[in-house]
Amino acid sequence: MNTTLAIEKRNLSAMQYAALSYRIRQITDAAKSGEDVITLTTYSIDEMLPNLQLPSPAEQASHILKYFGDSIQNSGEPARNPPKSFVAQIGAINRPAALRIVRQLADGGLLLIANRSFQGTADEPDGIDLSLKGWAQWEEERRGQFAGSHGFIALQFGDPELDPFLKDVVKPAVSELGYRLEDMRDAARAGVIDNVMRARIRDAAFVLVDLTHANAGAYWEAGYAEGLGKPVLYLCKDSVFAERGTHFDTNHCTTVMWNAKTPAEFSAELQATLRRSLGLFA
């Protein structure tokens, strides 16, 4: 089914529609950088809907800066009035909301806008450039030094004990600290996901890595996050750690043990460790 028709046949709120548009844009942008073909079906759209959220205003501002910075970097010229797809690319609920953030970035000295009359309401910006301050932040964010409002968890999928433990214990514990916790099933469910995964790790406030299964992908994601300088916290089932430990490169790192029979103890230790790592103090 045509993706647009598949979306239009659902009774979605404005927020759901915008969040779905943002997610589909992420997936299709990732596909352009890979070799595989994306096929979005009504089933894959239904899978996405329960976990959809728009990025926070701070994350949208970061996306806007990246959008214009990438455009100028590629063309060598100030950016023109952004196209209709701009809203989905940055994850705003609508164009006026996106343009208000553009105006605020200009007021904050990060963007330069040629038409000085632009107020971020019904009018449109043009001749958009980054200031030196904006280029410095664009470079920082390109290197992964931006911390969003979400955490990312790397793990092996399909474990009958770990999957419900993640859903019922780990994610709620993180949520109590004011962060949502994503894994790749939340970030993208169709097609090429490598670039989406890199982006979600790059923009995460922290990364959790479960090493219970010695999953090679989880180790890779941990290394990528460590290389970006992200706070990385390791998890492992207590009996597995006692029996064989984890790889010697990580067995000396902070590791929170979990046992599905003692969720309260795990939640308390996870929250305390994250508070220390992120400088959060109650």
**Mind listing the pLDDT tens digit of every residue in the chain (282 residues)?**
344 444 554 677 888 888 888 877 776 665 555 544 455 555 556 666 666 778 888 888 988 998 999 999 889 899 888 888 899 989 999 999 999 999 999 999 999 998 877 876 667 888 899 999 999 888 877 766 556 678 999 999 999 999 999 999 999 999 998 888 988 877 554 444 666 788 788 888 899 999 999 999 999 999 999 888 889 999 999 999 888 877 776 767 788 999 999 999 999 999 999 998 887 755
The residues, ordered by sequence, that sit 6+ positions from 11 with a Cβ below 8 Å of its Cβ are: none
Q: How many CA atoms lie within 13 A of 17 on its CB side?
A: 14
Q: Give the model's pLDDT for residue 190.
A: 44
Q: How far apart are the two ends of the chain, measured CA to CA in Å?
A: 50
- Estimate to the nearest angstrom the gap between the alpha carbon of 161 and the chain centroid: 25
Task: Give the 3-state secondary structure of residue 99.
Answer: helix
SS3 content of the chain, % helix, strand, coil (to 5): 50, 10, 40
Torsions phi, psi of 177, nearest 5? -90, 0
How much is the pLDDT for 172?
A: 94
CATH 1.10.10.10 in the chain, residues? 57-142
Distance, in Å, from the CA atom of 112 to the CA atom of 106, rounded to the nearest integer, reads: 6
Asked if residues 147 and 204 have their Cβ atoms less than 8 Å apart, the reply is yes
- Which parts of 138-254 are beta strand (E)? 150-154, 180-182, 206-210, 232-237
Dihedral (Cα; 114, 121, 88, 62), 10-degree rounding = 60
Residues forming CATH 3.40.50.450 domain(s) in the chain: 148-278
Question: Which tokens sit at 21?
Answer: 């548009």
pLDDT at 31: 53
Tell the CATH topology of 148-278: Rossmann fold (3.40.50)
Domain 57-142 annotated CATH 1.10.10.10: yes
* CB neighbours of residue 175 within 10 Å: 12
CA–chain centroid gap for 215, Å, is 21
Phi-psi sector, 47: left (phi>0), alpha (psi -120 to 50), beta: alpha
CA neighbor of 200 nearest in space, from 150, 163, 129: 150
CB 21, CB 13: distance < 8 Å: no
Tokens of 13: 């709120």
- β-pairing, 180-182 vs 206-210, is unpaired
